[in-house]
Amino acid sequence: MERVTKKDIFNTLKDVNVTSLISKKNNLDYLPWANAWALIMEHFPNSDYKIKEFPEYMLNKQTGMWQATGRDVDYRKTPAGVEVEVELSKAIHLFKSCTLWTIE
């Protein structure tokens, strides 16, 4: 198996034209996760990913405090927005993490 480095992956993906895959939300351009993952799989078909789960907390509007709901979710909601942590791996390499924020 050929050893692929982070630099190899960067050099491959930086040249990909994603213009036709861009979406817009709240007047911001972004590359949807599904489109980004499809591009990775096109170039590196042995890749895999794992989305980290966090304990869910909801803001109690009456008390102004965050309360645990007792379940795990694939995002962490904070006053600043929503955080998602994803681990991507290519063959035996693990690249952690892509943290994305959306401001609500």
The pLDDT confidence band at residue 5, using thresholds 50, 70 and 90, is confident
Cis omega (within 30 of 0) on the bond before 97? yes
Taking only the tens place, the pLDDT of each residue in 75-91 is 777 777 777 776 666 54
Residue 76, helix vs strand vs coil: strand
The pLDDT value given to residue 19:
92
In three-state form (DSSP H/G/I as H, E/B as E, the rest C), the secondary structure along 16-65 is: CCCHHHCEEECCEEECCHHHHHHHHHHHCCCEEEEECCEEEEEEECCCCE
> 0.85 exceeded by the pTM?
no
Short-list 100, 103, 102, 104, CA closest to 51: 100
> pLDDT digits over 29-52, tens only?
888 888 888 988 898 888 887 777
Please check the confidence at residue 20 and state whether its pLDDT lies above 90: yes
